[in-house]
Amino acid sequence: MTAAEETWPGLRFPDEEYAERNRRFRSALAAAELDAVVLSDDRVTWWLTGFGDVAPIGSAARPRILVLPAGSEPAFFVHRSTLRCVVEMSAVPDVRGHAALGAAPVAELSDFLAERDCRRVGFELAGELRPAMAAGDIAALAERVEEARDGSPVVWSVRMVKSKAEVERIRAACQVTTRAYARGLPSLRPGMTERRAAAILKSALADEGADAGWCWVASGRGEFDRIDGVVRERALEAGDLVFVDMGANVGGYWADFSRACVLGRATPSMRRLQELVAEVTDHGVRAVVPGTTAGEVARAVGDAMAERGLEFSSRAGRYGHGLGLSVTEPPNIWVDDGTVIETGMVLTIEPGTWTEEGMFHCEQDVLVTDAGPEVLSLAPVELTEV
Amino acid sequence: MTAAEETWPGLRFPDEEYAERNRRFRSALAAAELDAVVLSDDRVTWWLTGFGDVAPIGSAARPRILVLPAGSEPAFFVHRSTLRCVVEMSAVPDVRGHAALGAAPVAELSDFLAERDCRRVGFELAGELRPAMAAGDIAALAERVEEARDGSPVVWSVRMVKSKAEVERIRAACQVTTRAYARGLPSLRPGMTERRAAAILKSALADEGADAGWCWVASGRGEFDRIDGVVRERALEAGDLVFVDMGANVGGYWADFSRACVLGRATPSMRRLQELVAEVTDHGVRAVVPGTTAGEVARAVGDAMAERGLEFSSRAGRYGHGLGLSVTEPPNIWVDDGTVIETGMVLTIEPGTWTEEGMFHCEQDVLVTDAGPEVLSLAPVELTEV
């Protein structure tokens, strides 16, 4: 075990893991006919260097930039005040300190690309990435290279397929989340607010071992088209279906699945709808096999919804998405996404419908394997009565 | 009280607060000779619309974009699945749903700017902002306007000066953090790891009422040049100075101040160094008066360091920074920052030095008032012996 692994157990992977990621990344660069890529999204730099933690973004005052040439060793540009820490934790040995505060060292980056003769350079221009480099700095650097292109397809072609070690963290995050549902849902009561319910469930995630956690609670009748809603002060009422979507982070990797409980007895129609949505979800899960596309999975889910007379009511624009270092990442499980499903991808499947009785949606996290899909989100999908 | 305030107490400000922010923002746009600004950093859109929560970034799959013209009403572009929630919470009434997933509706944004005759348009190109719009989408939209400029100076000219209501949240965050120090530091023990110590302190933040919290712990001897370090598995030892930098979030606003404890008795030299650094910090605090500049404050701190024979060892590139919706935001308290200090700004002052005995640094959060600087971070600066 390396010193870095001993110092950051549970965060830092073995050096060979980063070597393999960099090898795969370089092959993808070569295939895309790019000489290099400039990366600063904190999830991406953590994934490739090993330096970072579970927070989704780092300090805006000190952006970190990794330049990864297809044909030579990468260099990691960080603020000089952070040099010692980065060197200790990073699997990329060439770490260079600079003095720019709240900005990227554009001239130094440009010189590095020129020294390495990188003419066709990819940048984080799309693909749901959140570069730490300011948009103006990206544009200024892009102007100094012969050909600037969007590097996000290369990032995702590699990041979408998880290693065994990454899968183990997502599996652990799902296990923590499953235990937190078992611990938290039975303690919800009428009169409690959604905000209090969310606090209880987040506390359950922490108690079960999450390094971080998120939780969204939506309750009430006929009020469920609330995608991206912020948890409210609304008091839960007897008879309410309380919909919960949450996930633990373990070692940087997320779970993301929803369950629901009823404060009292579930009505027969509530049970029936939950069953139907679970069936459709399972249909989608079984469609996730290597060689198919995200679009084909979406069509299978849509057909299963229609056969059961269910309307896809959330209009969320998709039936699921990729999962890993971000709670939501490419691909999108939707008809226009042609991403080919590969072994090692982890995807969520989450068709939903709502009625006057509540939101019916039981998201699953699924690992694609050669032997078929494996559901990682093992909490029971039946409505819990509390 | 509006329905939105009742539904999200502690998060949503009164409508007049947003009206006043928008009014100030429009004046700043006019002064900068900009016709409009396109904003998507989730802290910025939350601040101007009231829609959002305390997480630093929102879903990358569904970026939200606010277009704020200098001479007419703003419009808020969000994914259609989130429309209902955004309309409920947003103080900006013109909310427009679109179907783009993982991308901005560039054509619709461009049409809107053309309809409103906005030719000189600001974008989030610099200034430590983290736009939710992809860099490629910003570039594509910028190409469609007559004159694209960096809008970040306008953002900060308004955001740096906090309203009374914003100051109350920062004050509350500092009070929660002060109580969490009092609760957490005495429970640290030799043998505990830094990671366990950080977990205890984060738990204390939550118990004291934080909506979110962060914590960084650095212990050990002669190992303190660890700015931006990730909390380690290192076991605390008897006699160690344990340096802690942390902050609560209350209603979206952060505290950020450091304190330290000694596991056993502090040596006379430890006490002396902590006193000297506290004196220098206090010198900086007293320099924070309206009309001076961030650079002049930095020079005052540097002179006070030199008079006491202290070296500014962290090489962090600054003696402090702005504080608010982000843990670190402009201005930088450094010699090359010419920002004029104004009443209503909240700044941190944090000179530091390290020796073989540990990191000596006791950051303060300071409100600028007409009557002089007010320290909000009231935890004792003396070394706590535990």
pLDDT digits (tens, 9 = 90+) for B71-93: 999 999 999 989 989 999 999 99
- Is pLDDT of B364 > 80? yes
Whole-number pLDDT of residue B315: 66
Tokens of B361: 């640094």
DSSP state of B116: T
CB contact under 8 A, B314 and A81: yes
Whole-number pLDDT of residue A315: 66
Mean pLDDT in chain A? 95
Whole-number pLDDT of residue A225: 65
Whole-number pLDDT of residue B311: 83
Q: How far apart are the first and last CA of chain B?
A: 47
Enumerate helices (H) and strands (E) in chain A, giving the number of each.
11, 18
For CA atoms B52, B53, B55, B60, give the dihedral sign.
Answer: negative
**How many CA atoms, within 13 angstroms, populate the side-chain half-sphere of residue B281?**
28
- Is pLDDT of B223 > 70? no
CB contact under 8 A, A317 and B81: yes
pLDDT, tens digit (0-9, with 9 covering 90-100), for B50-59: 999 998 888 8
Whole-number pLDDT of residue A56: 86
CA nearest to B150 within chain A: A136
pLDDT, tens digit (0-9, with 9 covering 90-100), for A205-247: 999 999 999 999 999 876 656 677 899 999 999 999 999 999 9
Q: How far is A300 from chain B (nearest CA, A)?
A: 20
A4 touches chain B (CB under 8 A): no
Tell me the whole-structure pTM to 2 decimals: 0.96
Element housing A274 (H / E): helix A268-287
- Is pLDDT of B108 > 90? yes
CB contact under 8 A, B214 and A55: yes
CB contact under 8 A, B126 and A134: yes
A9 touches chain B (CB under 8 A): yes
pLDDT, tens digit (0-9, with 9 covering 90-100), for B371-385: 999 999 999 999 999
Residue range B304-329: average pLDDT? 89
CB contact under 8 A, B8 and A232: yes
Predicted-complex ipTM score: 0.96
CA–CA distance, A364 with A174 (Å, rounded to integer): 10
Size of interface A-B (CB pairs under 8 A): 183
* Percent of residues, chain A, with pLDDT higher than 90: 89
CB contact under 8 A, B228 and A56: no
CB contact under 8 A, B317 and A101: yes
Residue range B82-107: average pLDDT? 94
Whole-number pLDDT of residue A223: 63
Q: Name which residue leads in pLDDT, B228 or B145.
A: B145
- Is pLDDT of B272 > 80? yes
For CA atoms A87, A91, A97, A102, give the dihedral sign.
Answer: negative
B52 chain-A contacts, CB cut-off 8 A: 230
CA nearest to B41 within chain A: A130
Q: How far is B371 from chain A (nearest CA, A)?
A: 30
Q: Which residues does A168 contact at the CB level (< 8 Å), separation at least 6?
A: none
CB contact under 8 A, A231 and B53: yes
Cβ atoms B277, B283 nearer than 8 A: no
Of the pLDDT bands very low, low, confident and very high (cuts 50, 70, 90), residue A311 is confident
Interface of A with B in 357-376 (CB under 8 A): none
Q: Which range among A358-362, A381-385, B50-54 shows the weakest confidence by mean pLDDT?
A: A358-362
Q: Name which residue leads in pLDDT, A10 or B225.
A: A10
Of the pLDDT bands very low, low, confident and very high (cuts 50, 70, 90), residue A356 is confident
Whole-number pLDDT of residue B305: 94
Integer CA distances (angstroms), A31 to A26, A154, B187, B300, in order = 9, 9, 55, 55
Whole-number pLDDT of residue A259: 97
Whole-number pLDDT of residue B220: 82
- Is pLDDT of B316 > 80? no
B132 chain-A contacts, CB cut-off 8 A: 130
B136 chain-A contacts, CB cut-off 8 A: 125-126, 150
Whole-number pLDDT of residue A342: 98
Cβ atoms A159, A329 nearer than 8 A: yes
- Is pLDDT of B226 > 80? no
DSSP state of B231: P
Q: Which range among A78-87, A110-119, A369-378 shows the weakest confidence by mean pLDDT?
A: A78-87
Q: Which range among A56-60, B21-25, B142-146 shows the weakest confidence by mean pLDDT?
A: A56-60
Q: Exposed (0-12), middle (13-18) or buried (19+): which is B31, by Cβ within 10 Å?
A: exposed
Picking from A52, A79, A231, the nearest residue to B317 by CB comes out as A79
A102 touches chain B (CB under 8 A): yes
Mean pLDDT in chain B? 95
Interface of B with A in 169-228 (CB under 8 A): 203, 206, 214, 225-228
A123 chain-B contacts, CB cut-off 8 A: 135
CA A162 to chain centre: 12
Q: How far is B275 from chain A (nearest CA, A)?
A: 24
Residues A251, A320, A22: CA angle, nearest 5 degrees: 45
List, in sequence order, every residue forming a beta bridge with A348; answer none if it has no partner.
A321, A365
Picking from B86, B131, B232, the nearest residue to A135 by CB comes out as B131
For A7-68, give the DSSP string: HSTTTPPPHHHHHHHHHHHHHHHHHTT-SEEEE--HHHHHHHH----SSSS--TTS--EEEE
- Is pLDDT of B359 > 90? no
pLDDT, tens digit (0-9, with 9 covering 90-100), for A168-214: 999 999 999 999 999 999 999 999 999 999 999 999 999 999 999 99
Tokens of A277: 């949505």
Q: Name which residue leads in pLDDT, A314 or A121.
A: A121
- Is pLDDT of A288 > 70? yes
Whole-number pLDDT of residue A4: 96
B3 touches chain A (CB under 8 A): no
Residue B138's nearest CA partner among B125, B152, B154 is B125
A256 touches chain B (CB under 8 A): no
CB contact under 8 A, A126 and B138: no
